[in-house]
């Protein structure tokens, strides 16, 4: 997750603009000067909870907030200073923190200049900063480290995955058909402690929790840790906590959310949880809170279409269960406007960088080719008439781009379906994927010196 630290009202407006472009991977922390959450506290809070942090202030201001050096630590989050006049994005931590790549992403989004002051990237720099908020990485053994080096150097790495996850593009040298003796990159929400691989953990798990008034310090977090370990599930894959309404502010629930990296906490009314079928209901719990299950029901309620992968586990005053959310693809329908990069809306650029595959007519795909991440699949298709054998009614035509994009998204991939113009003509059917529409400018906008109303026409 990327934390956006706003120190004043102007910073908050800029933070909101960035969050609108990157809604899934950012959250805003706003300083309140008159309270106990002033600028130093807001920055410290973000550095303690987020993978990457953007301080919306000049470099000098950001450095003053860090003057004692206590907030930055080796291996900690990357930090970028973004000045409010939108001139520079300056990384303040090393290249291996992901700050340089974040500064370049901000430059692409906002048109600022990324001022990179670190040394050239070492051969072992892991190219995964763009996965922040979507997944995390970890290495197992020397071959796991070898996979990191191979990716940085463009050598083959064998890609293995439990399922297709809607992640952004992975490095192009990670391929399922890599040689059998190549190091392995595995996309999974499991730990695989005995295997010598590089792991990418997507955020697929929901932990349902219940905590009573007698829960002791860290009791709930210990229970979560034990449940994850018992079932071989990766702590880094926990996306959120879920509980019954009124419990999100319980000290143990808040502490668990903090320990898991500041994950959000969903609350569900007791009546809604009572309607969820669970394997281990409790009449005693039902009499006390109005639902026969809290942990199992809440986990399933926050993982629609998913399954319970760790049944209820109890301590004296806490309960935990874990569900895996159903993997849904992601289909962004993006209008590219007339095709010039400076006429592309910011959210469209974010979607292009978010996708692992971009599908569209040849001209549309070519127009954005240089904006895509390395490793992004480019699929150029065409519209065919029924004379080409599509099997539709006479006189009809079939848009192969829509078919190809829908097929990829239905199999769990992150796809951008692109077209020149506003994209309004791209109609996609509902399916096992989430649709995000980003309208573009019209294909033929008014020329700069063309009046909005022709002479003599009513205004």
Q: Which pLDDT score is estimated for 449?
A: 52
Kindly report the three-state secondary structure assignment for every residue of 174-226.
Answer: EECCCCCCCCEEEECCECCCCCCCEEEEECCEEEEEEECCCCCCCHHHHHHHH
Q: Which pLDDT score is estimated for 131?
A: 74
80, 101 Cβ separation under 8 angstroms: no
Q: Give SS3 for 132.
A: coil
pLDDT for 370-407, tens place per residue? 999 889 999 998 766 545 444 444 434 457 889 999 99
Distance CA 240, CA 235 (A): 11
pLDDT mean over 31-57: 85
Q: Extract the tokens encoding 40.
A: 């130093």
pLDDT band at 411 (very low <50, low <70, confident <90, very high): very high
Please tell me the total number of residues recorded for the chain in this structure. 459
Q: Give SS3 for 294.
A: coil
Q: Which pLDDT score is estimated for 140?
A: 65
Distance CA 326, CA 200 (A): 18
Q: In 3D, which of 423, 425, 418 has the Cα closest to residue 401?
A: 418
291, 285 Cβ separation under 8 angstroms: yes
**0.85 exceeded by pTM:** no
Q: What is the dihedral of CA 106, 111, 112, 118, to 10 degrees?
A: 50
pLDDT for 129-170, tens place per residue? 667 667 777 776 677 778 888 888 889 999 999 878 899 988
> Is the per-residue pLDDT at 408 higher than 60?
yes
CA-based angle 32:33:39, to the nearest 5? Answer: 80
Q: In 3D, which of 125, 197, 133, 130 has the Cα closest to residue 161?
A: 197
> How many C-beta atoms lie closer than 10 Å to residue 431's C-beta?
14
> Is the per-residue pLDDT at 261 higher than 70?
yes
- In terms of average pLDDT, the best of 230-239, 255-264, 281-290 is 230-239
pLDDT band at 125 (very low <50, low <70, confident <90, very high): very low
pLDDT mean over 72-86: 82
pLDDT mean over 20-26: 83
Q: In 3D, which of 335, 338, 339 has the Cα closest to residue 368?
A: 339
Distance CA 43, CA 4 (A): 9
Q: Which pLDDT score is estimated for 391?
A: 46
Between these two residues, 120 and 378, which has the higher pLDDT value?
Answer: 378
């Amino acid at each position: 997750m990327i934390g956006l630290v706003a120190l004043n009202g102007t910073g908050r407006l800029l933070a909101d603009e960035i969050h609108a472009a990157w809604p899934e991977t950012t959250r805003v922390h706003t300083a309140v000067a008159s309270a106990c959450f002033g600028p130093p506290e807001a920055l410290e809070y973000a550095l303690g909870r987020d993978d990457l942090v953007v301080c919306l202030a000049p470099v000098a201001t950001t450095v003053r907030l860090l003057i004692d050096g206590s907030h930055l630590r080796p291996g900690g989050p990357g930090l970028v200073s973004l000045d409010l006049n939108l001139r520079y994005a300056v990384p303040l931590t090393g290249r291996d923190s992901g700050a340089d790549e974040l500064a370049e992403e901000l430059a692409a989004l906002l048109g600022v200049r990324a001022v990179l002051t670190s040394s050239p990237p070492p051969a072992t720099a892991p190219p995964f900063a763009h996965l922040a908020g979507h997944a995390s990485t970890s290495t197992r053994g020397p071959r796991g480290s070898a996979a990191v080096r191979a990716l940085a150097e463009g050598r083959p790495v064998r890609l293995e995955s439990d399922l297709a996850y809607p992640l952004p593009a992975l490095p192009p040298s990670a391929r399922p058909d890599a040689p059998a003796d190549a190091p392995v990159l595995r996309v999974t929400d499991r730990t695989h402690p005995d295997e010598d691989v590089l792991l990418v953990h997507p955020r697929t798990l929901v932990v349902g929790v219940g905590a009573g008034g007698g829960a002791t310090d860290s009791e709930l977090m210990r229970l979560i840790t034990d449940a994850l370990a018992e079932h071989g599930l990766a702590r880094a894959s926990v996306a959120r906590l879920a509980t019954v309404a009124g419990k999100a502010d319980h000290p143990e629930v808040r502490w668990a959310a903090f320990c898991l990296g500041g994950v959000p906490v969903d609350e569900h009314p007791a009546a809604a949880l009572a309607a969820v079928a669970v394997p281990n209901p409790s009449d005693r719990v039902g009499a006390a809170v109005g639902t026969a299950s809290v942990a199992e029901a809440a986990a399933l309620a926050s993982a629609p279409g998913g399954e319970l992968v760790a049944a209820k586990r109890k301590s004296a005053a806490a309960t935990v269960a874990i569900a895996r959310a159903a993997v849904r693809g992601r289909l962004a329908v993006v209008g590219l406007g007339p095709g010039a990069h400076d006429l592309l809306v910011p959210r469209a650029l974010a979607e292009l960088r978010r996708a692992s595959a971009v599908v569209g007519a040849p001209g549309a795909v070519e127009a954005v080719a240089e904006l895509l991440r390395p490793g992004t699949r480019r699929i150029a298709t065409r519209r065919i008439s029924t004379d080409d054998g599509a099997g539709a009614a006479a006189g009809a035509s079939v848009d192969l781009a829509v078919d190809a994009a829908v097929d990829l998204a239905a199999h769990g991939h992150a796809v951008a379906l692109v077209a020149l113009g506003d994209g309004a003509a791209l109609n996609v059917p509902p399916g096992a994927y989430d649709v995000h529409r980003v309208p573009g400018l019209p294909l033929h906008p008014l020329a700069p010196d063309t009046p909005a109303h022709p002479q003599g026409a009513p205004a």
